[in-house]
Amino acid sequence: MQLFELNAHTWVIQGGGNIGVIAHEDRCLIIDSGLDKDAGRDILKQVKNLGLTPTALLITHAHADHFGGAHYLVRQTGLKVYATRVEAAVMSSPILEPLYLFSGAQPPRELQHKFLLAKPSPADVILTGNETTIDEIPLRLISLPGHSSEQIGVAFGDTLFVGDAFLVPDILDKHRIPFYSDVQAGLATLATLKTQTPTFRHVVAGHGEIYSSVEQANRAIDYTAERLEHILEMTRQALASGEPRSTADTLREICRAYHIKISTMPQYVLYQTTIQSALTTLYARGELAPVFQDNQLLWQRTA
Ligand SMILES: [Zn+2]
């Protein structure tokens, strides 16, 4: 893991993801905790090397790669864990992540891998997302739903941490279809985010490059928004003939268009979730309607 100093009070530890470290007087807040015990250990080592004692941990959203290291950090340091309500529910009962990805049915073992199933780490404090201090540290939380339902970001001094609200372009190009549980909310979040970036010197996404220019950050935000719009457009096109189609069929069409070849269970359920949310977004906008045929739930264009 590599350490980046953004200013005298703010750092990013970069490994599998970007971990934020904020220091204020005798307090030290860590933002996200990496995937597992190893990540937690590396984070703690780096924070100690800075001469800091972590007192709080904020989880932007409850995906295993963001809270999997929390269990270790809590055990080693006794720091307090902060998260919003829905995200905290997953953190205390991590089986919820594979469970929701598998429509609430008992998830197969392929979905019970540490990338989707972290060790439990209950939140000590439930956040509303409007807080202006955490652990006596002055900061501002910002609500960033879309990638996850109650994701939050943290504004501290000249730095904005945004979790996975947007993906940096090279990572987005690798995934092609980003994970979104709510495409509509994600688009609104990206639009809001762009109005916020001009007041910050550094914008830190959950993974990849740290942006120290507003233009670069906004370009990455636009790139993610364009991808979501493109996924909505591909969903419309998959249903353009007027023939009703299932979610599975729509997913197949869109994967074909993006040259995606799914070969694992996690890939399938992650892509499927984004396409489901594209379908519900278009349904909420009145562009589609559900129809039942042959005991299948199908989607049909309304116009
Ligand atoms: Zn995530």
The answer to whether 152 and 60 have CB atoms below 8 angstroms apart is yes
Per-residue pLDDT, averaged over 218-222, amounts to: 98
pLDDT over threshold 90, residue 303? no
Which CATH architecture describes the domain 2-164? 4-Layer Sandwich (3.60)
- Ligand 1 center to residue 35 CA distance, Å? 11
- Ligand 1 center to residue 253 CA distance, Å? 25
Q: pLDDT digit string (tens) for 29-74?
A: 999 999 999 999 999 999 999 999 999 999 999 999 999 999 999 9
Q: Which residues pair with 29 in a beta bridge?
A: 22, 56
Give pLDDT, residue 286.
Answer: 97
Backbone angles phi, psi at 64, to 5 degrees: -50, -35
- Ligand 1 center to residue 147 CA distance, Å? 7
* Cα-based angle 91, 96, 99 (whole degrees, multiple of 5): 155
Q: What is the mean pLDDT of the chain?
A: 97
- Ligand 1 center to residue 82 CA distance, Å? 17
- Ligand 1 center to residue 284 CA distance, Å? 24
Residue whose C-alpha is closest to residue 181's, from 253, 96, 83, 300: 96
Per-residue pLDDT, averaged over 203-210, amounts to: 97
- What's the rounded Cα separation, in Å, for the pair 143 and 224? 18
Residue whose C-alpha is closest to residue 43's, from 91, 6, 11: 11
Tell me the percentage of the chain whose pLDDT exceeds 90: 98
Q: What pTM did the predictor assign?
A: 0.97
Task: Write the DSSP symbol of residue 60.
Answer: S
Which CATH architecture describes the domain 241-301? Orthogonal Bundle (1.10)
Torsion of CA 258, 261, 266, 270, to 10 degrees: 20
Domain limits, the chain: 2-164, 241-301
